[in-house]
Each structure stands twice: as C-alpha cells, then as structure tokens.
C-alpha cells in the first residue's frame, strides 16, 4: 500500500529564540509539498513558542518520561508536551539509550505513556558499528523492536525510525541494499506481530541524511521517510530533503 512520506527534523540540543525564523522558513517552503508530512522536534524550551508561531505545523518533543507527573527533577512528562503544543514525540533515540542507559523496557514505557497522552510516537532503533561489522545488525534491531513496542497502538500513531548508531552525525551511510534489508526485516517482524496493520506503519531512516543522498535513501524499498538531525537545523539544508520526498511521492 502507498504510505505518505514523513520527514521529521530532530533539532536535539540546538536552538534558541533566534531559530524561530528557520522553523518558519522550513514550514513555509514545505507548504506546497502537500504529499509529505513534515515535523520538527525542537528542544522543549521552543515547543510552545513554535506551536504558537506556526499554527497547523507539526511540532514534537524529543523525549518524555514514562510517568505523567511526580518527583522526577528535570524530566518532561507526555502530558506536558501536549500542554506545550506538541503532537508527537521521539522515544528510544540512541543518544538516550546509550548516553542515558535507557533499556527497551524504558522505551516501551515511554511510548505507552506518550500514546496514552494522545501523542504520535516515533520509536527509534539501531545498531552500533561493532554489531554491524559482526553481521548481527538485523537480530540486534529486531530485538529492540520486540522489546520496545507498546502493547497496543493505532498503526497511524506509531512509526519506527531505523538509525544505525554509527551513521548518526558521522557522514557514514549504509548502502541502499543494507537499508532495504533492515527495513524489510522490520516490516516482516511487524507483520508477524500485528498482521495487516503493519502495512500502514511508517518506517523512517535516520543517519547522516542530507540533500545529496535523500532521494536515493527515500526511494529505497520500505523507506517511508527520514528522521533528520543536523541537516534539519536550517531551511537551506532541510528543505531539499523534503523536496526529494515530495518528488518521490509524485
């Protein structure tokens, strides 16, 4: 089945009030590309500002806590993201798994909390370079998928983002054949678990996506969009990725 392309910018820990103009430029340039869903996930401090400045734009969070409230200093709950104007959230990014020690169970709990609060979820998975080189990448990623998926969800409210850890911010990119093999394996695993609903779920690729390689990566089989890091910080770099997705969507 045809799935709409989905291009999401993860600004990570970048951006202050001076970045509002870039977000406005991105969504203005993306507006004519009606065949592509576009979102930006800025730092929490900018969610409310961007949601207010860009009504109708899809603004998301980069993480959330599994609890709705409580004594969790420095954490952000899913209902807080909703209150700030977010409609989606990223969970399980490798920079959270590796840097903060998050387990599959942690990611699953966050995904369930986000879905319960009414957010759409992008659930990240990916392998380190040593696992890729040992030939265990697919098994590693499918184990993450199995352990991180929430127990129940609507197919249109959860996407999987495959981000090989060794490709994030490094300029290294797997071959299209490797990307297709991984995305195909994820799709098959989802089909085994959820049946026909798996065909509605979008699987994004992330890891050094830019304007030069976007068309090739987004045109690969079972690649339904991109989760973009550094190249999403400016309209000049992000819009060509959106345009490539639109051209493929026809």
Q: Which residues contact 68 (CB under 8 A, 6 or more apart)?
A: 77, 78, 79, 113, 117
Report the DSSP beta bridge partners of residue 10: 41
Distance CA 146, CA 32 (A): 37
Out of 66, 102, 163, 183, pick the active-site residue. 163
Out of 93, 95, 102, 112, pick the active-site residue. 93
203 three-class SS: strand
Q: Nearest-CA neighbor of 227 among 110, 95, 105, 85?
A: 95
* Half-sphere CA count of 182, side-chain side, radius 13 A: 31
Q: Cα–Cα distances in Å, from 107 out to 46, 112, 137, 178, 245?
A: 23, 9, 19, 25, 28
- The DSSP bridge pattern shows strands 36-41 and 120-125 to be unpaired
Asked whether the beta carbons of 42 and 248 are under 8 A apart, the reply is no
Q: Is 212 a catalytic residue?
A: no
Which DSSP symbol is given to 62? Answer: S
Q: Is 183 a catalytic residue?
A: no
Q: Annotated catalytic sites, by residue? A: 93, 163
């Amino acid at each position: 089945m045809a799935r709409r392309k989905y291009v999401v910018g993860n600004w990570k820990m970048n951006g202050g009030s001076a970045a509002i103009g870039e977000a406005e430029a991105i969504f203005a340039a993306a507006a004519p590309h009606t065949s592509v869903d576009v979102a930006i996930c800025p730092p929490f401090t900018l969610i409310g500002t961007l949601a207010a400045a860009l009504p109708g734009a899809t603004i998301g969070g980069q993480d959330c806590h599994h609890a709705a409230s409580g004594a969790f200093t420095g954490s952000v709950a899913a209902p807080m993201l909703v209150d700030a104007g977010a409609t989606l959230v990223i969970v399980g990014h490798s920079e959270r798994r590796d840097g903060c020690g998050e387990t599959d169970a942690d990611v699953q709990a966050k995904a369930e909390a986000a879905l319960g609060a009414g957010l759409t979820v992008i659930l990240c998975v990916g392998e380190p370079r040593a696992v890729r080189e040992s030939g265990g990448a697919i098994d590693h990623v499918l184990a993450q998928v199995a352990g991180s998926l929430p127990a129940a969800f609507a197919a249109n409210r959860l996407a999987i983002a495959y981000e090989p850890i060794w490709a994030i911010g490094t300029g290294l990119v797997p071959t299209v054949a490797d990307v297709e093999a991984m995305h195909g394996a994820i799709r098959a695993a989802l089909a085994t678990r959820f049946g026909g609903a798996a065909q509605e779920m979008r699987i994004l690729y992330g890891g050094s996506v830019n304007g030069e390689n976007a068309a090739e990566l987004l045109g690969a089989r079972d690649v339904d969009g991109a989760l973009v890091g550094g190249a999403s910080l400016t309209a000049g770099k992000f819009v060509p990725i959106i345009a490539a997705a639109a051209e493929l969507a026809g």
